[in-house]
């Protein structure tokens, strides 16, 4: 009597290709709202915190790493007043811990290109 041969098929999930710059900006824009960054940071004007344009102008000038800051691994370089630092530190210690590195990178990409998307 013959045994049926068992064919083993691999069921691996293919790796997703990296997102294009436009896709990162689109997703970052959405996440900026969904993850409540927009609550304190307007694109063009100061709200509770500095505007995104102001933040990114300073980060570009000082060659800063916004992702490292949002992960709590870099000191603030935009508004270093104690009250603003305390607010942002609470966010870093709170809800930002639940945002993945990939999501933070897309938010940073959006912020980096916000001036192109929202010319004055």
At 98-118, the pLDDT tens digits run: 999 999 999 999 999 998 877
Q: Cβ distance 118 to 43 under 8 Å?
A: yes
Share the mean pLDDT of the chain: 90
- Mean pLDDT score, 35-42: 95
CA pseudo-torsion sign 52, 55, 59, 64: negative
CA neighbor of 72 nearest in space, from 60, 61, 85, 83:
85
The better pLDDT of the pair 119, 8 is held by 119
In the chain, what is the straight-line distance between the N-terminal and C-terminal CA atoms, in Å? Answer: 81
* Nearest in space to 86 (alpha carbons), one of 33, 46, 37, 48: 48
Tokens of 19: 């997102």
Crossing angle, helix 101-112 and helix 52-61, to 10 degrees? 90
pTM recorded for the entire structure: 0.81
Average pLDDT over residues 2-12: 60
Judge contact between 20 and 94, C-beta under 8 A: no
Q: Give the model's pLDDT for residue 43.
A: 94
């Amino acid at each position: 009597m013959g045994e049926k041969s068992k064919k083993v098929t691999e069921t691996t999930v293919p790796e997703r290709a990296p997102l294009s710059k436009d896709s990162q900006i689109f997703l970052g824009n959405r996440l900026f709202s969904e993850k409540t960054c927009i609550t304190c940071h307007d694109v063009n004007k100061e709200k509770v915190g500095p505007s995104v344009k102001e933040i990114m102008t300073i980060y570009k000038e000082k060659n800063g790493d916004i992702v490292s800051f949002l992960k709590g691994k870099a000191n603030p370089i935009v508004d270093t007043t104690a009250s603003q630092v305390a607010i942002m530190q609470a966010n870093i210690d709170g809800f930002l811990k639940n945002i993945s590195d990939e999501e933070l990178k897309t938010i940073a990409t959006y912020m980096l290109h916000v001036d192109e998307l929202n010319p004055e």
